[in-house]
Structure 1
Amino acid sequence: MSRTTFRRALAVLAAVPLAIGLAACGGSSAADDSASGGAPSELRLGYFANVTHAAALIGVQQGYFADELGKTKLSTQVFNAGPDEVEALFAGGLDAAYIGPSPTINAYGQSDGDAIRIISGAASGGAQLVVRDGINSPEDLKGTTLASPQLGNTQDVALRTWLTKQGLENSVDGGGDVTITPTANADVPNLFDSGELDGAWVPEPTASLLVLEHKGHVLVDEKDLWPQGQFVTTQLIVRTEFLEQYPDTVAALLRAHVKAVQFAQSDPDGAKKAVNAALDAAGGKSLKDPVLDRAWSELTVTYDPIASALETSAKNAVAAGTTEKQVDLKGIYDLRPLNEILKKQNLEPVSAGGLGEE
């Protein structure tokens, strides 16, 4: 994707929230079609077929979302990376989504803080740069081709930020010391085997697949780049309009989300089985036990949004060239519904880090 095309895409996304507002006045989106009791007839949820989206996979597979939503129908859509999810949210095709920080920040900035709110964390960790034999240091990466899931997605920003800090030139236009090729996670292993890719900065389970089944090795574990190894990989966001119009439905979504997180934390074996079944049902491929075990060990399923890491992610996106200017993140969080649920369960509240309501 050229930089001109990239900027054009961002401009289109920036204009879509106005279209959503106009559609809300005279359109017929699922969210506008209310069932009895002021609840929407449908909630449309997006997520990835990744282990880093375990809370979503568990919530769907175990029926937590369907149970809590009651008469509101749950419709799901599986994505490869966050920028495509943002387009669907802006176009009114999704009401809520599990997504990484970088596309979330772009969505918030491009809509002048109007389009979305982060309502919970979902996962920390679970992303690595895996490379072929013969690459053992940053210097060995000169002249190589690496993959990330999509231009501007969370792993893409992490890869570009790290390369730049190592003195390795890269560009959203292509070229430089290292070429970065946006590649669907499912396509990475075959391209890695064929030699078309020298490595990839990818989320789980793709990282574990490359290590255990495709002779790759870890050059960078992203956890090592963050204080105490804590950084947000996945969070749960909603359209602001949906949150304001259907607060009870969002609370139901969050109750199910908390159940899924608690299941992952209290019963990892049961959770891994649920994740594997959900991966299969989502059109992906269930994982062999060693791959799933390794992937699970690399991440933490949590409802804590780890707000302290978000501003760093925003700065990294500017440095990486995937965001054109620093985004003011004040107001991006609305953790009040989540903290109300946690309070009822005598659990500690989570913090917005000064970047929103809590």
Structure 2
Amino acid sequence: MIQLSKVLNAFVDENLQQLRTQGLYNEIDSVEGPNGPIITIRGQQLINLSSNNYLGLATNDTLKEVAKKAIDKYGVGAGAVRTINGTLDLHVKLEEKLAEFKGTKAAISYQSGFNCNMAAISAVMDKNDAILSDQLNHASIIDGCRLSKAKIIAYNHSDMNDLREKAKAAKESGLYNKIMVITDGVFSMDGDIAKLPEIVEIAKEFDLITYVDDAHGSGVTGKGKGTVKHFGLQNEIDFQIGTLSKAIGVVGGYVAGKQNVIDWLKVRSRPFLFSTALPPADVAAITEAVQMIMDSTELHDRLWENGDYLKAGLQKLGFNIGHSETPITPCIIGDETLTQQFSKRLIEEGVYAKSIVFPTVPKGTGRVRNMPTAAHTKEMLDDALAIYEKVGKELDIIK
């Protein structure tokens, strides 16, 4: 029998019990089959409103065929890190396509969107610098900032007066060699969009490096081209970050920007230098997915149509959906235990909408986040709304 440290055992058991008591322990469900608009969990078919598969591309037949062909030609793995001999011609084509997609001179791909923020921030910023970071930025941005050892100055969420004041103070202090402002393009928990035109204006005023993580914007905003393109600011943003696992439907991440910036990341960003390259099947499928988004807005338009439909339905029922500006639609419940209970009942009735509680969101703002996709039908959404009404009234969340 394996004997664990008594100190470790006590720490883990005590804290797990505390999370369960507070309604903060997350049970992980296993999906039996593809992650589409309908999923199967423990043999039960559920309308899936918790996926980031915005355009339905994760299960797209064309992408599956492209991936299979790439495996036949290249094998299942890249075989090395990019800087040795893990850079396949597929990677080069992908990065050229990503640069075209984002309207930049160059791009670099990584193994995940999380890796992008760990890689890019710490490759450019250090202990002699400062980072102005939106208070609701994604955990990967927060961790990337910490890794850089730069001074982190949080500004109130999308509060441009607070950003200007803190940028001015940081600049006039003379303490920092470089100052960067970092924001999500679309904030994943509330669905609101960053005020990029104002951020760029402040950045120009105080000579700030601009950094936008558009994980939930690429494929969704700007007719699919992303939040930076939505505002026509592709020539004003130094770093455009995105994932390849959400609207793109596969896995990985990228940074797009000027050629010299990307060249620097290729020689100084540690996940690029020390982690095996993305597998060929994924790279081929990603490239095809990006081309599909560039060629047609059909999936993008259907996503927004479904998002608007679900949002209007939930609001009419009386749910608090916050101030979302995108298809991301939270139902904000507040109390963590009630949020968990609400999610559990939705699942029992046939809707998979996962509860999101602290530490993913602040305490007292527990929610069920709905992520409609281009693959949902109106009938699926109507069925989901009926279940929301039933459970919401049962738990006295709506009248």
User: So what's the TM-score if we normalise by structure 2?
Assistant: 0.28
Task: Look at both structures and tell me which one has the larger radius of gyration over its CA atoms.
Answer: 2
Quick one: higher RCO (CA 8 Å, sep 6+), 1 or 2? 1
